[in-house]
Chain A
């Protein structure tokens, strides 16, 4: 039961261009979405998040867009840098006590110099 889906296992982008990572979800009860970045042999690192009452959140080079009607969110990285090469996980959670994050399978981003 994949409640959070990242359909692209990998993505290659030229340095300086825009990276767009996509995520779809099926559970309409989710009300907060997060993106995590993961390097090999490290734990996931929180990157950016968005509440379901918003459609956009921006933090420096990173912007997350949420389309609730389509149950779709995307992470834009612009300009992409070689240090952005990592696995990016989309995660979702319901506001209710101590509920866990539900992760997608991740997208491996490679930024080519």
Chain B
């Protein structure tokens, strides 16, 4: 069964460093998302992406964040200068045209900012 994959599974970085989180969505999906979950809190939306541009973004997704689909398969989230409060699980999700609202999630990347 096709699945969303994410790398790395765990990333440790120093405050102020840049990180890039990578995702490979399900191959025929066209809609892509990033969410995050701070420990003990709910899953929060960051950004949605379709047709090579951002569709919607939340207040969390400020100028330090960016997304890119550099090729036909990868979807990346970049945090330019990490802060302690960026420590969280970051989930990538994708959906197809027919699975109208059913987003399929990857296993997540645990980001730890020291």
Report A's interface with B, CB cutoff 8 A: 32, 34, 36, 41-46, 49, 89, 93, 95, 97-106
Which size bracket describes the interface of B in this complex?
Answer: 20 to 34
Partner of B91, one of A44, A49, A104, A105: A44
Query: Can you show 17 pairs from A to B with CB atoms below 8 A apart?
Result: A32-B100, A32-B101, A34-B102, A42-B108, A43-B93, A46-B102, A89-B43, A98-B48, A98-B50, A100-B33, A100-B58, A101-B45, A102-B45, A103-B44, A104-B42, A105-B42, A106-B42
> Is B74 an interface residue, CB under 8 A from the partner?
no
Q: Does A98 lie within 8 Å of B56, measured CB to CB?
A: yes
Query: With A and B bound together, what is the CA distance between A102 and B45 in angstroms?
Result: 7
- Minimum CB–CB distance for B29 against chain A, Å: 12
